[in-house]
A and B are shown apart, each in its own frame.
Chain A
Amino acid sequence: MKELVKSMKFFHMYLKQYKLQFFFIIVSIVVATYLQVKAPQYIGDAIQELVNYLGKLNASGGKIDDMSTFVHIILLLILFYVLSSIATFIQSMLMTQVTGKATNRMRIGLFSKLEKLTIRFFDSHNDGEILSRFTSDLDNISNTLNQALIQVMSNVALMIGVLIMMFRANAQLAWVTIASVPFAIIIATVIIQKAAKYVDLQQDSIGELNGYMDEKISGQKIIITNGLEEETVAGFLGHNEAVKKATYKGQVYSGLLFPVMQGMSLVNTAIVIFFGGWFALNGSLDRSVALGLIVMFVQYSQQFYMPLTQISSQYSMLQLAVTGARRLMDVFDETEEPDAVGGSTFKGISEEVLLDHVSFSYNEGTPILKDVSIQVKKGEMVALVGPTGSGKTTVMNLLNRFYDVDKGNISFDGTDIRHLTLASLREHVGIVLQDSVLFSGTIRDNIAFGKPEATMDEVMAAAKQAHIHDFIMELEQQYETEVSDENNIFSTGQKQLISIARTIITNPSLLILDEATSNVDTVTESKIQKAMDNVISGRTSFVIAHRLKTILNADRIVVLKNGEVIESGSHADLLDEDGFYAELYRSQFVFE
């Protein structure tokens, strides 16, 4: 129920501005339905008129040959069908437009919302899970709006219309026609529920099979080198059998709805014809009237069963849309990144960066940083080292306000960074991350990512400083080469050089290098090192390092372990201390 309320809120938010369109949609549904249910009556009339005509013709011995009433009805029918086609066209066209535009706004709305969310949200949600909101959830919503909504609305209208028409035409036959409806509804409900249950089971078993195959085929190297093929097939057979059993029931029940409803419609039509004929011959109906009535009711009986089938088959689709809307609403309800209200604009570091007794935890109860204090003067290079999980990367997250400190504070030139506007802070803090990311677009776009207005000269200057210019010039389309994160124009090391160029061009006043070379070998590392030295020189910088080679020349090295600063000083000082750092150093290098 809560889900329904939430999704209604969502639909209201995105659909309220189309009130006018919906008004016309409903009007044209009513018109189209009216015409659709009225038409069989006219067809019945036409046939009745033919019988009358024939009667008069025979009675008068061929003298009264007047078909004008019949022709009149035919003309009316044509008019009806023209109008009903127009009305159907209008409702469907308007709905297409509303759906298209609303879905577009939902998609863009979702994207903008994501751009505003906190890093905590992204760190605590799986990418695939978020992406599925763009794909399956939006798809379900759009399909439902486009098809299911109109179908359900017009089918309900149709059922009501047919009911009214039937009872006005002949109550007795009308009762006969709808007598079986309760059974049909009960049967449809049972089938749908069973289908839902077995389809769930089916999804579970397919999921398991999928997991099994994915694990095995992804690990095929192990299977081949250990000769495990037979065992793997044996394990597969069990899963395959389970899927077969579960899917069989799912498919029987979900395949049953249509033939059952159609079969029932057939039976019902037969009953209507039988009783119509019976009433006609047992005196309660005039014969010419009866003939028209039966033809009319045959159509009504079919028209009445069709919407029943449709509504029941749309039910699961509606449910998917409600779930989809709820899932989108969940994202919209997330809190956005807080900006400093009335904060001052940061213009670059002029004196120092200070971490003052900073404590932080991602999850309450598991502290990551405990009372950490680091002071960096302008132009200094500070290296953060320590084992995995020591909290090195967290410092980067805090300096850029991806997260905010729990206790203590971080200040630039004495101003708490929470009092600086977020945009100005990040514009002056440059980051090179461990995993370099390329965005789809040209190489130029990627280098000028943080400064789209940069000139070609600036882009090339940055690439030269990052030692990637020569490589780019060797490519056929040079700076206009299209790249994306997936294609392999660049090696890992080269991708990292592009992201260094991307940082250089923005000329940051504070620089953070977060394990920028941990994914490459030591020879490549020493090449990247030259590019990094170019960026670091003259800037205040934090260098987070897993391998020590890159930070031997740091002004100061801070060793973190379990969230605490355990050692601090220059390389020489720390070697003298012969503590954790010295041991780390000795294990990473070769000594003769």
Chain B
Amino acid sequence: MGILIQHLKKYKKEAFFSIFLVVIMVASQLWQPKLLQNVLEAILNDDSEKMQQTGIYLIGIAAIGLIAGILNTITAAKVAQGASADIRESAFRKIQTFSFSNIEKFSAGNLVVRLTNDITQVQNLVMLSLQSLIRIPILFIGSFILALMTIPKLWWIIIVLVVLVFLIVKFTFGSMGKHFGIIQKLLDRVNGLAKENLLGIRVVKSFVQEENEEKRFSAVSDDLTKHTITVGTLFSIMIPSFMFVANMATVAAIYFAGTMVKADPAVIGAIASFMNYLMQIMMSIIIGGMLMMMSSRAFISLGRLQEIMSTEPDITYDENAPMVDLPGSVEFKHVTFTYPGDEVPTLKDISFKIEPGEMIGIVGATGAGKSTLAQLIPRLYDPTEGEVLVGEIDLKKMNKKNLRESVALVLQRAILFSGTIADNLKQGKKDATQTDMERATGIAQAKEFIEKRAEIFDAPVAERSSNYSGGQKQRLSISRGVIGDPKVLILDDSTSALDANSEKLVKEALNKELNDTTTIIIAQKISSVVKADRILVLDDGHLVNVGDHRTLLKESPVYQEIYETQKGKEA
């Protein structure tokens, strides 16, 4: 709620104006029965002048109500749009300060949903509040008071009506409540079954299980239908019950007013407006209930947005630290790392030091912790224990720009953003020149396919970079990594989609062009790291051996096992 109020402040004027318009709308709506009563009385008294005067009032007031309604919609939309766009902006800004583990905690998809669907909910809530939510209590209380004023003796009819409507709502919603939960679960299950059948259609077909799957699906679908029909039937009881109660109240009003006519003839003129107020009271309860239901969803959304805003980035930089020209050494001092939410650490007490300019390989089975280790160097995560140093400085004591310019990470799953090739390359070096781009793409062996495009560096990159093959994406991603001449370059299995020859050319170019750069290569294939100065062997989070290929073959059982599975035999 806090987040909404905070952002509504900017639109205070519009919001108050909009509420003022609502009051006018309601007033004109509530005044009408009163004027109707005057007209009827004027007719009874044969007062032509009063009749005409009141009639003109009637029309004038209704017209004002109409105009107020239109203006209210416009201002309400303005406030709703303004506030929700502002909330979205501040949430997005907040996300940009997040560390990677902050984002992982929410998951990227979830954040996007919060910034779209949840914002839409909030926007609808604001719109609804300014259009109707405020109107309902005014309408309810207004009709209540006016009805009482019109025929005070019939006060009990109003009370009975209100009590009965509440009871019906309580009964029906009470019985529906538990079904709603079940229905939601069954819906998820139905969609889940459909989804897994789409995903596994080849398995279903090759095992000839179509009929069994149909049976499984029908059972859930039947169950779902049973509950929807139950809820529907409850609704079928609820709506006519409302109408019945309201109508009975009307009838009672007419009857009891009738019995009063003898003593007080003027009451005839009041019956119609009393009835009208009764209807307004009932409608405001029903609509109010529906609005409450709708807004409860929006409140959940607000809570989810609030969660983003109140999350503090768990990695901050020491911005007072001076910019230093760092040597390319990398050192781990007793580093242990556990992913948030995990119980077992992924990296366990790892220590090593890499000298500037070294080429280091990291090998190990899936899940051994290779990528995790790599991600600690550009500070995507902070170690749970121990410290990571680049150029002899603890990462936690380094300013952000210094770190970003010194360390480049190239991921296995190459991520390119839509735009042009040049846009993507410049992400690695903001002021990259044509020469820089040519050099970087040359190293990554990307130049040849880029030059085949008419637009060269201005060639478009589509969403999800779907217009490039896996190998091309990796080569562009490597180009982005090397363009800024980093002190430390980490290649996380980033040549996996390259054929053997291109991979060799990339390695040679890296050696030649980035000779001073410390290069860390994570690989599945031993052939990718055979020529490294040293190889770190990881096993289940432990650093088990360090050495060059030949040493490891002799000393490391883990390395030997991996090697065995990749060793060629000359036939």
List the interface of chain A (C-beta within 8 A of B).
Answer: 39, 43, 46-47, 50-51, 53-54, 57, 65, 67, 70-71, 74, 77-78, 81-82, 84-86, 88-89, 92-93, 96-97, 99-101, 103-104, 107-108, 111-112, 114-116, 119, 122, 127, 130-131, 134-135, 146, 206, 209-211, 213-230, 232-233, 236-237, 240-241, 243-244, 247-248, 251-252, 255-256, 259-260, 262-264, 266-267, 269-271, 273-274, 276-278, 280-282, 287, 290-291, 294-295, 298, 400, 402, 422-423, 426-427, 429-431, 433, 437, 439-440, 449-450, 452, 484-485, 491-493, 499, 502, 506, 520-526, 549, 571-572, 575-576, 585-591
**Residue pair B205, A260 in contact (C-beta under 8 Å):** no
Chain B residues in 8 Å Cβ range of A39 = 247
CB-CB nearest in chain A for B375? A221
Q: Quick one: which of A243, A270, A571 contacts B571, CB cutoff 8 A?
A: A571
Q: Is B568's CB within 8 Å of the partner chain A?
A: yes
Chain A residues in 8 Å Cβ range of B44 = 51, 287, 291
Whether A134 touches B225, Cβ cut-off 8 Å, given contacts A88-B243, A92-B240, A281-B46, is: no
The 8 A CB mask of B270-288 against A (1 = contact, 0 = none) is: 0110011000000000000
Whole-angstrom distance between the alpha carbons of A65 and B194 in the complex? 73
**Residue pair A277, B85 in contact (C-beta under 8 Å):** no
**Residue pair B239, A92 in contact (C-beta under 8 Å):** yes
Given contacts A85-B247, A263-B66, A273-B39, 12 further A-B contacts (CB under 8 A): A89-B240, A97-B229, A104-B224, A130-B194, A222-B427, A259-B69, A259-B70, A277-B52, A281-B51, A431-B202, A449-B207, A506-B207
Whole-angstrom distance between the alpha carbons of A514 and B32 in the complex? 77
Whole-angstrom distance between the alpha carbons of A104 and B218 in the complex? 8
Q: Is B343's CB within 8 Å of the partner chain A?
A: no
CB distance from B447 to the nearest CB of A (A): 21
Q: Quick one: which of B80, B210, B261 contacts A115, CB cutoff 8 A?
A: B210
From 60 to 102 in chain B, residues with beta carbon under 8 angstroms from any chain A beta carbon are 61-63, 65-67, 69-70, 72-74, 76-78, 80-82, 85, 88-89, 92-93, 95-100
**Residue pair A96, B236 in contact (C-beta under 8 Å):** yes
Main secondary structure of the interface of B (DSSP, over half): helix
CB-CB nearest in chain B for A445? B216
Whole-angstrom distance between the alpha carbons of A266 and B95 in the complex? 48
Whether A277 touches B214, Cβ cut-off 8 Å, given contacts A96-B236, A134-B190, is: no
Whole-angstrom distance between the alpha carbons of A290 and B48 in the complex? 14
**Residue pair A400, B55 in contact (C-beta under 8 Å):** no
Whether A96 touches B366, Cβ cut-off 8 Å, given contacts A46-B258, A217-B112, A439-B200, is: no
Whole-angstrom distance between the alpha carbons of A54 and B267 in the complex? 11
CB distance from A100 to the nearest CB of B (A): 4
Whether A111 touches B217, Cβ cut-off 8 Å, given contacts A74-B254, A295-B272, is: yes
Q: Which 6 A-B pairs have the closest CB atoms?
A: A263-B66, A589-B568, A96-B232, A259-B69, A587-B500, A450-B207
CB-CB nearest in chain A for B80? A251
Q: Is B6's CB within 8 Å of the partner chain A?
A: no
The 8 A CB mask of B360-388 against A (1 = contact, 0 = none) is: 00000111000000000010100000000
**Residue pair A484, B85 in contact (C-beta under 8 Å):** no
**Residue pair B530, A590 in contact (C-beta under 8 Å):** yes
Chain A residues in 8 Å Cβ range of B70 = 256, 259-260, 263
**Residue pair B103, A217 in contact (C-beta under 8 Å):** yes
From 517 to 571 in chain B, residues with beta carbon under 8 angstroms from any chain A beta carbon are 524-527, 530, 561-568, 570-571
Whole-angstrom distance between the alpha carbons of A491 and B57 in the complex? 77
Whether A54 touches B415, Cβ cut-off 8 Å, given contacts A214-B112, A251-B81, A263-B69, is: no
Whole-angstrom distance between the alpha carbons of A264 and B570 in the complex? 91
Q: Is B149's CB within 8 Å of the partner chain A?
A: no
CB-CB nearest in chain B for A427? B208
CB-CB nearest in chain A for B477? A222
Whole-angstrom distance between the alpha carbons of A57 and B259 in the complex? 13
**Residue pair A213, B115 in contact (C-beta under 8 Å):** yes
**Residue pair B463, A215 in contact (C-beta under 8 Å):** yes
Main secondary structure of the interface of A (DSSP, over half): helix
Interface size on B, residues (CB 8 A): 154
Chain B residues in 8 Å Cβ range of A263 = 25, 62, 65-67, 69-70
The 8 A CB mask of B128-167 against A (1 = contact, 0 = none) is: 0001000000000000000000000000000000000000
Whether A522 touches B524, Cβ cut-off 8 Å, given contacts A43-B250, A255-B76, A439-B200, is: yes
CB-CB nearest in chain A for B267? A50
**Residue pair A549, B565 in contact (C-beta under 8 Å):** yes
Q: Is B29's CB within 8 Å of the partner chain A?
A: yes
Chain A residues in 8 Å Cβ range of B65 = 263, 266-267
Q: Is B58's CB within 8 Å of the partner chain A?
A: yes
Chain B residues in 8 Å Cβ range of A101 = 225, 229
Chain A residues in 8 Å Cβ range of B248 = 78, 81
CB-CB nearest in chain B for A74? B255
CB distance from A155 to the nearest CB of B (A): 14
CB distance from B535 to the nearest CB of A (A): 12
Looking at A100, A485, A549, the one whose CB has the most chain B CB atoms below 10 A away is A100
**Residue pair A260, B66 in contact (C-beta under 8 Å):** yes
Chain A residues in 8 Å Cβ range of B209 = 449-450, 452
CB-CB nearest in chain A for B271? A47
**Residue pair B85, A114 in contact (C-beta under 8 Å):** no
Whether A248 touches B272, Cβ cut-off 8 Å, given contacts A67-B258, A77-B251, A220-B100, is: no
Chain B residues in 8 Å Cβ range of A111 = 193-194, 197, 213-214, 217-218, 221
Chain A residues in 8 Å Cβ range of B244 = 81-82, 85
The 8 A CB mask of B215-240 against A (1 = contact, 0 = none) is: 00110011011001100110111011
Whether A266 touches B239, Cβ cut-off 8 Å, given contacts A96-B229, A104-B221, A252-B74, is: no
Q: Is B2's CB within 8 Å of the partner chain A?
A: no
CB-CB nearest in chain A for B116? A210
Q: Is B111's CB within 8 Å of the partner chain A?
A: yes
Give the contact stretch, choosing among B173-181, B345-353, B402-410: B402-410
Whole-angstrom distance between the alpha carbons of A526 and B380 in the complex? 33
CB distance from B246 to the nearest CB of A (A): 9
**Residue pair B213, A440 in contact (C-beta under 8 Å):** no
CB-CB nearest in chain B for A244? B85
CB distance from B156 to the nearest CB of A (A): 18
Q: Is B127's CB within 8 Å of the partner chain A?
A: yes
